[in-house]
Amino acid sequence: MSERQPSGLDLKAQNKFFKSFRYAAQGVVSAAGERNFKVDIAAAACALALCALLQVPLWGWAAVVVCIGAVLAAECVNTAIEAVVDLASPDIHPLAKRAKDCAAGAALILAVASVAVAGIVFVPAAWALFLGC
């Protein structure tokens, strides 16, 4: 039985699929230029180092990785909303303020929740490592 050759349409769809990854990567690179994103990357590196140092169990690693992903994704969305607001409303407008403040608020909520998760993961791990219980 002969294998079906990919049609021009298949290749076009494949090409579009890989291009969408490239555009998404460009979005991450663009958001990574923001100060808050850099701070989040530094915090993420510290959290991962603490996971290794304190010999955190697998569930702790998973919780920390999910928090890092959520915070960085929120920074990307925040950057996107800022760009759209600047495009749509270069002048001062109460709705522009509301949109930007809410987007920043979403990132703040995730950051605060991540600090709480860090406490839940790291305090018992440090306790167990240094006090042996």
Ligand X SMILES: Nc1ncnc2c1ncn2[C@@H]1O[C@H](COP(=O)(O)OP(=O)(O)OP(=O)(O)O)[C@@H](O)[C@H]1O
Catalytic residues: 75
Contacts of 7 (CB under 8 A, 6+ apart): none
Residue nearer to ligand X on the CB measure, 64 or 71: 71
36 binds ligand X (CB under 6 A): yes
Whether 65 and 117 have beta carbons less than 8 Å apart is answered as: no
| Closest CA relative to residue 113, chosen from 63, 75, 59 | 63
104 binds ligand X (CB under 6 A): yes
Residue nearer to ligand X on the CB measure, 76 or 121: 76
Q: For ligand X, what does the binding mask look like between residues 63 and 82, x meaning CB under 6 A?
A: -------------------x
Whether 101 and 70 have beta carbons less than 8 Å apart is answered as: no
Q: Is 86 annotated as a binding residue?
A: no
Annotated binding site: 23, 34, 75, 82, 100-101
